[in-house]
Amino acid sequence: MRQHVNPLSKYFQEIESIPQIDQIFKYPNLPTHLDIGCASGKFLFQLAEHNKNWNYLGIEIREKLINNAKCKLNKEEIDNLYFIFGNADNLLKNWIHKYPDQSFNSVSINFPDPWFKKKHHKRRIIQAEFLNKLALLMTTDSLLFIKSDVEDLFKYMDSAISNTLIFEKVNNKNKNPKGIYNPSRIKTEREKYAISKNFTIHESTYKKISIIV
């Protein structure tokens, strides 16, 4: 079993220079989907190939995986896909600081590292502060998708997201699949593994709501 990368380690305070989204995609006016913890990027390569009407951006903290994904991307001519190495929390902070007008039309956090021990819960990607930053970079009515095969983690994430009052849960069955980033319901690598092991997959979708002050 792989060792999780500690996102709070000093090494990950350094991140690669973040780009302005309209400079990395050939058609910057297309909606942009952000996948946090994209691992090898296989899921995003498939999405980018299937849905030319979306731009896809993957963030991953494991440097080797992202370097391999970038090499593959350089060899193939795909103009609606981009990868960035770093701790998602620091990358979002940097975006807000450098490009406050940056916005994503949808975001997925698929099967994030569970960090089972209570003393390690602070390493989980979903934290109140993180969600506040993420919401600043999302357009009103944009969707946040989460999935996990760890029930406790899923409950923790669901409650953290609901507690922000910035996101409203969307009934999965009523969602129009055509308007979303993954209309063909392509599976992530962890999802395929979870299915092969008959694990229960928990998933939820939330809409960013406008905040009236």
Ligand X SMILES: C[S@@+](CC[C@H](N)C(=O)[O-])C[C@H]1O[C@@H](n2cnc3c(N)ncnc32)[C@H](O)[C@@H]1O
Which residues contact ligand X by CB under 6 A?
5, 7, 36-39, 59-62, 87-89, 110-113, 125, 188-191
Whose Cβ is closer to ligand X: residue 40's or residue 80's?
40
Whose Cβ is closer to ligand X: residue 80's or residue 114's?
114
Whose Cβ is closer to ligand X: residue 39's or residue 57's?
39
By beta-carbon distance, which residue lies closest to ligand X?
A: 37
Report how far residue 45's alpha carbon sits from residue 26's, in angstroms, rounded to the nearest whole number: 16
Element counts in the chain: helices (H) and strands (E): 6, 7
Min. distance of Cβ 212 from ligand X in angstroms? 31
Whose Cβ is closer to ligand X: residue 60's or residue 206's?
60
User: Which one from 113, 141, 152, 158 is the annotated catalytic residue?
Assistant: 113
Min. distance of Cβ 6 from ligand X in angstroms? 9
Min. distance of Cβ 152 from ligand X in angstroms? 15
- Unique residue bearing structure tokens 């021990």: 117
Phi, psi of 100 (to 5 degrees): -60, -20
Cβ distance 134 to 106 under 8 Å? no
Min. distance of Cβ 29 from ligand X in angstroms? 27
Query: Is 113 an annotated catalytic residue?
Result: yes
The set of long-range contacts for 96-103, using a CB threshold of 8 Å and a minimum separation of 24, is 96/133, 96/136, 96/137, 98/18, 98/20, 99/18, 99/20, 99/21, 100/136, 102/20, 102/21, 102/137, 103/32, 103/137, 103/138, 103/139, 103/142
Q: Which residues participate in catalysis according to the annotation?
A: 113
